[in-house]
Amino acid sequence: ARADAAFEKVTQAAPRSMVLNVPCDLMSFASVRDAATKLLAHFGEGGIDVLCNNAGIMAAKDEATSDGYDTQMQTNHLSHFLLTRQLWPALTLAAKAKGEARVVNH
């Protein structure tokens, strides 16, 4: 529901932008890879201009993900790195075509 509301705000504020809402569970590397595959299939030809890694948790219980990493470490850092790495070819493509591409980590 929050993602849908954010998607609606972005599309209203920038109606000419290409925005895609792709579910991704950062506590699962498989989900991150699946999301990257979907994004590359949709935006891969034209590249990706901006990637905003803006998700995280804090004060999480001391538990491990199914991938074996601390939940907070994987959600806040490792999965963002994996997603960026998986999308790097599309970011590079946009940078070559348009002069720049950005990754924003918040």
| pLDDT at residue 18 in the model | 79
Whether 102 shows a pLDDT value over 90: the answer reads yes
Q: Which amino acid is at 24?
A: C
Q: What is the pLDDT of residue 17?
A: 82
State in words which class domain 25-105 has: alpha beta
Distances 79 to 24, 25, 45, 99 between C-alpha atoms, Å: 10, 9, 24, 27
pLDDT in tens, 43-88: 878 899 999 998 888 988 899 999 999 999 999 999 999 999 999 9
The residues with which 103 forms a beta bridge, in sequence order, are 51
H or E, element range at 106: none
